Structure 1
C-alpha cells in the first residue's frame, strides 16, 4: 500500500531532501487563499489548484517546482496539470505537514 501511495505522489523523501539542499526551489501551495492565509511554509506562493491553468506563465522557466496542499491530493492534480502544459520539473511535496517537516529541518 505504501508503495502505491509513493507512486501516486511521484516523489520520495530523499527527493525532497535533495531539492531543499539546492535552495533553489519554487514552493507552490495549491490550497485555497483562505487555507493559505491560515498558514503555510516560508517562501511559498499561493496559486490555488483552480488557478494553475490560468497562471501557467508563473511556472515557466522555474526549476525545482514543489507543489503541496493539505493532503497531497490537490498537489497531485496540480502536478498533472503542469506536466500536461509542458512544465516538467515538478515534484509533488504532498501535504503541508510533510513540507513543514522539510522546511524546518
Structure 2
C-alpha cells in the first residue's frame, strides 16, 4: 500500500496539485475537525466508490491511518484501483505537525 506523509500532503495543498482527499471518518468526527476532504465513512466506501476519482491521485485519511488503510485495501482489492494513498498517521499527525490547536478527540 502506498502511503503519504502529512508533510507531503501539505506540500501538495500548498502547490495546488490536482488530487482528491477523502476522509473516511464518521460524520460527527468530520464535523469536529477536517482537512476539507470529501467525507465518505469507511462503512460506505464501496457503496459510494463512484465518488472516488480514478484520473488523479486519491489520498485517504482518517484519525490515525488505520481506517483509511482499510479503505485503500478494500478499493484496491474490490475495484482494482491503483491511484490510492493512505495518509500516514491521519489527522492526528496533521495536528501534531501543523495545527496544535485543531480539536481532535
1 or 2, which has the higher helix percentage? 1
Aligned to 2:86: 92
1:45 pairs, out of 38, 47, 55, with 38
* Count of residues in correspondence between the two structures: 94
Deviations 1:22-42 (A, max 9, x none): 61110001000110011101x
5+ long unaligned stretches in structure 1: 1-8
1:58 Cα deviation from its structure 2 partner: 0.9
When the two structures are superposed, what TM-score results if normalisation uses the length of structure 2? 0.73
Deviation >4 Å, runs of 4+: 14-22, 99-102
Alpha carbons of 1:56 and 1:73: their partners in 2 closer, same or farther (altered >3 Å)?
same
Match of 2:102 in 1: none
- Decide whether aligned partners of structure 1 residues 72 and 58 sit closer, same or farther in structure 2, where only a CA change above 3 A counts: same
Q: Over the residues paired in the alignment, what is the CA RMSD in angstroms?
A: 2.5
Name 2:48's counterpart in structure 1.
Answer: 55
For 1:79 and 1:31, locate their aligned partners in 2 and report how far apart those are by CA, in whole Å: 13
Question: Which of 31, 36, 59 is the matching residue for 2:30?
Answer: 36
Q: Could you list the runs of 5+ residues in structure 2 that have no partner in the other structure?
A: 99-105
Please give the TM-score of this superposition, normalised by the length of structure 1: 0.73
Q: 1:19 to 1:76 in 2, by over 3 A?
A: same
The alpha-carbon deviation at position 50 of structure 1 amounts to 0.3
